[in-house]
A and B are shown apart, each in its own frame.
Chain A
Amino acid sequence: MSDPNEWNYAPAPEAAKQARISDRYAHFINGKWADPKEGEYFQSTNPATGEKLSEVALGTKRDVNAAVKAARNAYDNVWSGMSPRERGKYIYRIARLIQERAREFAIIETLDGGKPIRESRDIDVPLAANHFFYYAGWADKLDYAFPNRKVSSLGVAGQVIPWNFPLLMAAWKIAPALATGNTVVLKPAETTSLTAMKLAEIIADSGLPDGVVNIVTGMGETGALVVNHDDVNKVAFTGSTSVGKRIQKSIAGTDKKITLELGGKAANIILEDAAIDQAVEGIVNGIYFNQGHVCCAGSRLFVQESVYDEVLWKLKRRMDTLIVGDPLDKNTDVGAINSKEQLETIQRYLKAGVDNGAEMYQPACDLPASGNWCPPTVFTNVAQSSIIAQEEIFGPVLAVQTFRTVPEAIEKANNTPYGLSAGIWCDKGARLFQISNQLEAGVVWGNTYNQFDPTSPFGGYKESGFGREGGLHGLAAYLDM
């Protein structure tokens, strides 16, 4: 018999044929595909192979103007006057169409973004459909959401989304905007435009009136044109804190309503009485989910000293079993880094961590020869002042610190300008909720991590932004009240 340690999983790749990707995608404006006015396109590549998948329109001022004009026209003449129930029914249709084409969407999300197919199949795509389904039902019930308040839609929403959950972020933005009676101009991230354009196909198929949702692709400059357009009434941005601050400043002289979903440096706190095996799974899920390209990633691990050795031993052993590689393989745990630029950013942080005197551990893994890859990484002996404990890395990099007492853990956890999320692992409910109360974070996961649901509000304290997305509270961002 062969050595069990040599046993490997057989490859189990998802067939990519199911996915139809056009050679070229124009903008989606006023219900139609619109070639970029300046005629320029840029490439969208597969980060796991470096191969070109398609090319995408480069949005310029004239494109954005056309999109906002279409959105305004649809708002004034169709959408804002439509009965809320009918509005909701269109959104339900979109949810159903995503469910019907879920497999195709999952494959393209993985091809374009590099995330494991297991995640795009089981999390991104179903959650995106569920967001549309959830908010569809709110459209004709808004009078019950905010007691004794007359609410109305805002107008045209300009929305700029990141590359880590391309379809899901589009759903988080579009679904509540439509349910509350607004129209939309959406700018996807430049490295991950494809599922947004597939969503445009679905939107066209759904019969949604022309101009209610417009999608303009392009770089950061295109996004700036969207949020700064005079005829946009609402700005919704998910991305880095530095860009979020720039947007807040650029629209300071306007009446635009704004929500910002920004960066994070979440604390994941392991107490000595935690169920350690479960906690280790939670640590792994917290930081290596989606290659750590997650604003709420549990990137700072705080372990109580008495269980430090056990936790670290088990964590490293678990990391050794993580399968890094082909994102389309159903066994893959950690996929490709989204872009070359992001990989370089992560590598700069790895170097800084080592230079700062922290100890780096990476499991031995066979990384594919081409594409962007970073093995799961853990740093120990991390000083609070170290750059890897302070700044958002947005990669599969965990910084471990220790604590002796609960107040010390809370103080360290809150010692960051961010406040998006946190995790607590503890067997005692009384203690867990006491800690939860004291953490400055918009989402706290107790004995779990990285859970998302359309009914659950998501958003940060402090410099992680303001406003909530999801749930009843997510409606407020899109209503004049």
Chain B
Amino acid sequence: MKRLEVLKTYKLYIGGQFPRTESGRYYSPTGADGQSLGNICQSSRKDFRNAVVAAKGALGGWASRAAFNRSQILYRIGEMLEGRSAQFVDELIKQGSTEADARQEVEDSVDRCVYYAGWCDKYQQVFSAVNPVSSSHFNFSIYEPVGIVAAIAPEEKPLLGLLGTVLPIIVGGNSCVVLASGNSPLSAITLAEVLATSDLPGGVINILTGFREELLPFMVSHMEVNAFVASDLSAEHLKTAKEESIHNLKRIIHHKENIADCESPYPILSTQEVKTTWHPIESSISGGGKY
């Protein structure tokens, strides 16, 4: 007799845990063959708010880690992903990719982790500045994380697009809540299993599934969220995002480039603040300072 396959229940990823949506709701996107992909959590406003609480809890610890340590953790995500490539290829195919595209997307995803791992301790060096002010001061500008970032992963390339969206956010010490591709959510949840085993502290990346129409207004109006990132919003959604952002002047970042195909340090900078510090330099030490 043929063995009965054990099917996975797809859940959310909040604070390093895998809860179901508090709302008890689900939706059933269909794959390429018209078959249901399963009962996927339809996250609610409350789920989003819970995820923000988790992200806030994780922020301080993540932001204050050594850049080198963040780099190692991102590399570790790549290692874990590589080891589970076959599973991701299967899921991408199930969601509608060709086998060749699925394989390519998974390989690119692993490489994207390695790429951004390397930036963790380099972007600061490349983009910070020591400013030659005219007065006798030491003056420098460095990058700091903007804080908690809400993000919507692109619909297409559900694995690579999500990684391309969130990796630059966490490279710079932010924590985030990301909404997965609505039609192709499986790889996002499986990615959560990778993250949970990658030394990434719980809460740094939180993953929700559901409908962007429903969640977007909450993501852009939440007072504890400092920035919002997306790359494939409709004009109407982008307008809503900018309008609702004014409550706490959230930074709205809508990447122009297809984020799945973008390898660049500039997305890292888009969720950073520039802090400039001044300190006096003693202007002349008695005698001998000048000749």
Q: List residues of chain A with CB under 8 Å of any chain B CB.
A: 130, 146-149, 241, 244-246, 248-249, 251-253, 260, 262, 417, 429, 432-433, 436-437, 441-448, 451, 453, 455-459, 461-463, 465-466, 468, 471-473, 481
A159 CB → nearest B CB, Å: 19
One of B92-100, B162-170, B193-201, B270-278 at the interface? B270-278
Task: List, in ascending order, chain A residues with CB within 8 A of B241's CB.
Answer: 252
Find A453's partner among B133, B239, B264 (CB 8 Å cutoff): B133
**Among the listed B141, B242, B249, which residue makes an inter-chain contact with A462, where contact means beta carbons less than 8 Å apart?**
B249
Total contacting residues, chain B, CB less than 8 A: 34
> What would be 19 A-B contacts, judged by CB atoms less than 8 Å apart?
A130-B134, A241-B249, A245-B249, A246-B246, A248-B242, A433-B277, A437-B144, A442-B274, A448-B137, A448-B279, A451-B135, A451-B137, A456-B276, A456-B278, A457-B129, A457-B141, A461-B273, A462-B248, A468-B274
Minimal beta-carbon separation of B290 from chain A (angstroms): 22
How far, in angstroms, from A252 to B249 measured CA to CA in the complex?
12
Known: A446-B277, A453-B139. 12 other contacts (CB 8 A): A146-B266, A253-B235, A429-B279, A442-B276, A443-B278, A444-B277, A446-B279, A457-B274, A459-B274, A461-B273, A466-B251, A471-B141
- Kindly report which residue of chain B lies nearest to residue A148, judged by CB atoms: B264
1/0 per position for B252-291, CB-CB distance to A under 8 A?
0000000000001010000001111111100000000000
Kindly state the separation between the CA atoms of A433 and B140 in the bound complex, as whole angstroms.
12
> B131, B146, B226, B235 — which one has the most chain A CB atoms within 10 A of its CB?
B131
A457: B residues at CB distance < 8 A: 129, 131, 141, 274, 276
Q: For the complex, give the distance between the alpha carbons of A140 and B85 in Å.
A: 48
B249 touches A465 (CB 8 A): yes
The reply on B126 being an interface residue by CB < 8 A is: yes
The reply to whether B248 and A417 contact each other, CB–CB distance below 8 Å, is: yes
Q: Counting CB contacts under 8 A, is B214 at the interface? A: no
A429 cross-chain contacts in B, Cβ below 8 A: 279
On whether the beta carbons of B278 and A445 are closer than 8 Å, the reply is yes
Contact assessment for A252 and B242 in the assembled complex, using a CB-CB cutoff below 8 Å? yes
Instruction: Select B131's contact among A147, A246, A453, beta carbons within 8 Å.
Output: A453
B90 at the interface (CB under 8 A from A): no
- Measured CB to CB, the nearest residue on chain A to B277 is A444
CB distance from B216 to the nearest CB of A (A): 13
B contact residues around A445 at 8 Å (CB)? 277-278
Q: Please give me the residue from chain A that is nearest to B236 by CB atom.
A: A253
In the bound complex, how far is the Cα of B133 from the Cα of A448, in angstroms? 14
Q: How far is the CB of A83 from chain B (nearest CB, A)?
A: 26
Most buried by A among B129, B135, B235, B279: B279
Instruction: Find chain B residues with CB under 8 A from A451 CB.
Output: 133, 135, 137, 278
Q: Which residues of A contact B226 (CB under 8 A)?
A: 462
A463 near B248: Cβ-Cβ < 8 Å? yes
Contact between A149 and B266, CB atoms less than 8 A apart: yes
- Choose one: B129, B134, B235, B264; the contact of A473 (CB below 8 Å): B129
In the docked arrangement, what's the CA distance between A453 and B137, Å? Answer: 11
- Contact indicator per residue, chain B 44-63, by CB within 8 Å of chain A (1) or not (0): 00000000000000000000
B119-145: which residues lie under 8 A (CB-CB) from chain A? 126, 129, 131-135, 137, 139, 141, 144
* A248 partner residues in chain B, CB cutoff 8 A: 242, 245-246, 249
* Cβ contacts under 8 Å, B146 to chain A: 461
Kindly list chain A residues whose C-beta atoms are within 8 Å of the C-beta of B141. Answer: 456-457, 471, 473
The 9 A-B residue pairs whose C-beta atoms are closest, nearest first, are A252-B242, A453-B133, A245-B246, A446-B279, A455-B131, A252-B243, A253-B239, A444-B277, A463-B249
Q: Which chain A residue lies CB-closest to B247?
A: A245
Report B-chain residues with C-beta under 8 Å of the C-beta of A249: 242-243, 246
**A260 touches which one: B144, B249, B274, B276 (CB < 8 A)?**
B249
The verdict on A436 contacting B277 (CB below 8 Å), with A451-B135, A456-B131 known, is: yes
With both beta carbons as reference points, the residue of chain A lying nearest to B279 in the complex is identified as A446
CB proximity of B141 to chain A, nearest CB, Å: 5
B173 to chain A, nearest CB (A): 12
Contact of A448 among B134, B273, B278 (CB under 8 A): B278
A430 → chain B, closest Cβ, in Å? 13
Q: Shortest CB–CB separation between residue A77 and chain B, in angstroms? A: 27
Most buried by A among B242, B248, B249, B264: B249
A464 to B266 CA separation, bound complex (whole angstroms): 23
Residues of A within 8 Å of B135, CB to CB, are 451, 453
Q: Give A250 Cβ to nearest chain B Cβ, in Å.
A: 9
Closest beta carbon of chain B to A258's beta carbon, Å: 9
CB distance from A420 to the nearest CB of B (A): 11
In the complex, chain B residues whose CB is within 8 Å of the CB of A472: 129
B contact residues around A461 at 8 Å (CB): 146, 273, 275
Bound-state CA distance A448–B281 (Å) is: 11
For A149, list chain B residues within 8 Å (CB).
Answer: 266
* CB atoms of A442 and B275 under 8 A apart: yes
A244 to B246, CA, bound (A): 9
Residue of A nearest to B249 (CB): A463
Nearest Cβ on chain A to B245's Cβ, whole angstroms: 7
Q: Is the CB of A432 within 8 A of B242?
A: no
Q: Which residue of B lies closest to A246 (CB)?
A: B246
| B207 smallest CB distance to A (angstroms) | 26
Contact partners of B266 in chain A: CB under 8 A? 146, 149, 481
Task: Report yes or no: A456 in contact with B251, Cβ–Cβ below 8 A.
Answer: no
- The verdict on A443 contacting B134 (CB below 8 Å), with A248-B249, A249-B242, A252-B242 known, is no
Residue of B with least CB distance to A453:
B133
